[in-house]
Structure 1
Amino acid sequence: MIAHPRPQLMAPQEYLEWEEQQPLKYEYINGEVFAKTGGVIPHKDIAINLTSALKNHLRGKGGKVQMADAKMGVSLQGPFHYPGVMVTCDSRDRTARNVIYHPSLIVEVLSPGTEAFDRGKKFRHYRRIDTLKEYVLIEANKMTVECYQPNEKVKWKLPSYSGLAHLKPY
């Protein structure tokens, strides 16, 4: 992400209106906006394949899958991010046009430039979403998948998978 220089902080609604007029996508955190940078082709391939598999799995079940161009808001006040892949099955998001507020699954494909942010600050933001059931981090270069899930005490546990582990379908 690249910070976008602005003389003053933006209010959430101001950001939402401003960003609609921009040629690039921007994330919003505490009044500041950050340009969203593009990923490398292998990371995009992972996101496309995962999106296709999730779309097939959710067909007829009321779930909605979105990719990196879909904005997700932690709350009406922000922050606002663009996850690699997200799923919402919440009826409140069914008619959403610009922002998804109630995702149940968020997936990020890690890159060296975003890994620390995805594991740290972004995950702290995502943990505030009460509908979120799973936060998945994919490390393509290491063939590792980390699946963070809240337990009954809303502490996040981490089952992880690496190598060519056999994963059962739902």
Structure 2
Amino acid sequence: MIAIQDVKKLSSEEYLSQEKTNLIKHEYINGEVYEMPGASSAHVTIAGNMFFLLKSHLKGSNCRVYNADMKVRIDRLNVFYYPDVIVTCSEEDKGLNYYKKYPQIIIEVLSDSTESFDRGDKFADYRKIESLREYVLISQSKKRVDSFTKQDNNLWILESFSEEENLVIKSVNFNCAVSSLYEDLD
């Protein structure tokens, strides 16, 4: 990732103000602003399928599902990210219009340019979110999903799901065929 703003670091308030009017999304890491890369058709389709399936499953619950236009704020690190899909069941998040602070589930669709960051430093940052229970990574290149689930002792357990299996997201009692995430791909 290459910082856009090298001369002067921005405060989180300056970042939020600018982001409301920017035509291009930017992530924010402790004062530095990073332009978000454009997404492929496959990326958008997979993220959309995941959003739709979760939204349908959680209809009528106190949980809300958001797509890639909603930021996650990590106060402890002074960071804002745009995950592909988030689920929050927090009452505190309902009053926050431009970002969410208490996601229960974060989902990222992997691309060649972001996979190592999503699996590495970004996941390390996400683990600082106390409310986070599950982190799901969906591959674009293979029909495979990796799901990390937080245990009571703060240990994260990895489960991988292949095309012929069902993805299980335990914290919201969600279950779907992995193949349904790849529906409508060319």
Shorter-chain TM-score: what band? over 0.9
Q: Distance in 2 between matches of 1:66 and 1:145?
A: 19
Q: For 1:140-151, list aligned pairs within 5 A.
A: 140-151=140-151
Q: For 1:68-79, list aligned pairs within 5 A.
A: 68-75=68-75, 78-79=78-79
Q: Distance in 2 between matches of 1:7 and 1:166?
A: 48
Contact 2:105 2:134 in 1 (8 A): yes
Show structure 1 runs of 4+ deviating over 3 A.
166-170
State the shift of 1:76 in Å.
7.1
Query: Percent sequence identity over matched residues?
Result: 39
Q: Secondary structure of 1:123's match?
A: helix
Contact 1:55 1:65 in 2 (8 A): yes
Q: Distance in 1 between matches of 2:31 and 2:59?
A: 37
Stretches of structure 2 that go unaligned for 5 or more consecutive residues are: 169-173, 176-186
Q: Distance in 2 between matches of 1:77 and 1:158?
A: 24
State the shift of 1:167 in Å.
4.4
Asked if residue 15 in structure 1 is aligned to residue 15 in structure 2, the reply is yes
Q: Which amino acid aligns with 1:82?
A: Y
Q: Which amino acid aligns with 1:119?
A: R
Q: Secondary structure of 1:61's match?
A: coil
Residue 49 of structure 1 corresponds to: 49
Judged with a 3 Å threshold, the aligned counterparts in structure 2 of structure 1 residues 61 and 123 are, in CA distance, closer, same or farther, namely same
State the shift of 1:2 in Å.
4.4
Q: Distance in 2 between matches of 1:38 and 1:126?
A: 22
Residue 100 of structure 2 corresponds to: 100
State the shift of 1:17 in Å.
1.5
Q: Distance in 1 between matches of 2:50 and 2:167?
A: 14
Q: Secondary structure of 2:75's match?
A: coil
Residue 125 of structure 1 corresponds to: 125
Contact 2:145 2:167 in 1 (8 A): no
State the shift of 1:80 in Å.
0.2
Contact 1:2 1:36 in 2 (8 A): no
Residue 111 of structure 1 corresponds to: 111
Q: Which amino acid aligns with 2:129?
A: I
Contact 2:106 2:135 in 1 (8 A): yes
Aligned length in residues: 170
Q: Which amino acid aligns with 2:142?
A: K
TM (normalized to structure 2)? 0.86
TM (normalized to structure 1)? 0.93
Over aligned residues, Cα RMSD in angstroms?
1.6
Q: Distance in 2 between matches of 1:140 and 1:86?
A: 18
Residue 64 of structure 1 corresponds to: 64
Asked if residue 33 in structure 1 is aligned to residue 33 in structure 2, the reply is yes
- Describe the superposition over 1:63-85 as per-residue Cα deviations: whole angstroms up to 9, x where unpaired: 11111111110127621000010
Select between 18-27 and 33-42 the one with higher mean Cα deviation: 18-27
State the shift of 1:5 in Å.
3.3
Residue 160 of structure 2 corresponds to: 160
